[in-house]
Homo-oligomer: A and B are copies of this chain.
Amino acid sequence: MTESHSARTVFIVSDGTGITAETFSHAVLSQFEQVSFTPVRIPFIDGAEKAAEAVRRINRCADEEKQPPLVFSTLVNPEVAFVVRQANCSFLDLFGTFIRPLEEALGLKSSHSVGRSHMGGLGAQYQKRIEAINFTLAHDDGQYVRGLEQAEVILIGVSRCGKTPTSLYLAMQYAVKAANFPLIPEDFERGTLPATLAPYRKKLFGLSIDPKRLSEVRTQRRPDSKYATLEQCVYEVAKAERMMRIEGVPCLSTTARSIEEISTKVLEEIGLNRSSY
């Protein structure tokens, strides 16, 4: 038994993309650090034939690894789920497990219908999301100032502190129109926020970063530049943080935080209660 603990294949079987189920399985499985898990997504399983093919794949894996793999299922259709459950595996039914208690809590029957979890390409929600992505791309790194009044948040901070990935995540996941604007040495010499931003003071949110980390990131981009030296990074970060403090702009460190965490903190701080996709 003991050596079989070291590695495990995990199948994520879904009638949709399986992305949520995979992220969820990461989270739960991270509680078993002793094991190295290999996730394999099997998406779009929407009928008995595809389910049978998934079963064959799972059984092949069980034979090869001489132990039943884990299967996380988000199959909505109970008949399809029943087929997959017959595979030689430990079956974890993410969907079915919660439908019964929800039916009780709501006093209603579920519709057991497949593929509802993501809206297709024609929904108004989808449209909003694409618009937010386009807006964010156009207003990345202060490149385009027109239309800035439409921004729901404007991230500011020194070059390479994490503004771009955070803006894009906010747009992609929450349909938030997120612009971003760099703070550069010129601003620090002048000692005030860029004039362009003055009308949007309330939408500003600052990102900062540990200077050592910043120097590493910048070195990857432009090795041996003054821009990447620790000295320059210490200077810029100190000046930027001071400016935000004086101007009353809320500020968050991106060091050791994931893009998801930073984005969630930004939404909390600016008081946007936004649903994710």
B129 near A259 (CB under 8 angstroms)? yes
Q: How many copies does the complex hold?
A: 2
B17 near A102 (CB under 8 angstroms)? no
Minimum CB–CB distance from A249 to chain B (whole Å) comes to 21
A276 near B23 (CB under 8 angstroms)? yes
B30 near A108 (CB under 8 angstroms)? no
A98 near B92 (CB under 8 angstroms)? yes
Chain B residue contacts of A22, Cβ below 8 A: 275-276
Within 8 A of B (CB), among A238-277: 254-261, 263-265, 268, 273, 275-277
Q: Whole-angstrom distance between the alpha carbons of A233 and B57 in the complex? A: 42
Q: Whole-angstrom distance between the alpha carbons of A30 and B24 in the complex? A: 18
B90 near A105 (CB under 8 angstroms)? yes
In which size bucket is the chain A interface? 35 or more
Given contacts A256-B122, A264-B43, contact A106 B5 (CB under 8 A): yes
Indicate if A28 sits at the interface (CB-CB under 8 A).
Answer: yes
Chain B residue contacts of A20, Cβ below 8 A: 20, 23-24, 27
A31 near B106 (CB under 8 angstroms)? no
Contact of A105 among B19, B23, B39, B70 (CB under 8 A): B70
Q: Whole-angstrom distance between the alpha carbons of A33 and B107 in the complex? A: 13
Minimum CB–CB distance from A92 to chain B (whole Å) comes to 6
A260 near B30 (CB under 8 angstroms)? no
Minimum CB–CB distance from A236 to chain B (whole Å) comes to 18
Chain B residue contacts of A40, Cβ below 8 A: 273
Minimum CB–CB distance from A253 to chain B (whole Å) comes to 9
Chain B residue contacts of A35, Cβ below 8 A: 106, 108
Minimum CB–CB distance from A272 to chain B (whole Å) comes to 11
Q: Whole-angstrom distance between the alpha carbons of A73 and B261 in the complex? A: 17
Indicate if A227 sits at the interface (CB-CB under 8 A).
Answer: no
Within 8 A of B (CB), among A29-81: 29-35, 39-41, 43-44, 68, 70, 74, 76
A43 near B268 (CB under 8 angstroms)? yes
B26 near A117 (CB under 8 angstroms)? yes
Minimum CB–CB distance from A15 to chain B (whole Å) comes to 10
Q: Whole-angstrom distance between the alpha carbons of A106 and B257 in the complex? A: 30
Indicate if A199 sits at the interface (CB-CB under 8 A).
Answer: no
List 21 contacting pairs A-B, 8 Å CB cutoff, sorted by A: A20-B20, A20-B23, A27-B74, A29-B102, A30-B116, A30-B117, A31-B76, A31-B113, A32-B102, A44-B264, A70-B105, A90-B102, A118-B261, A119-B258, A120-B256, A121-B256, A126-B259, A130-B165, A133-B164, A169-B172, A172-B259
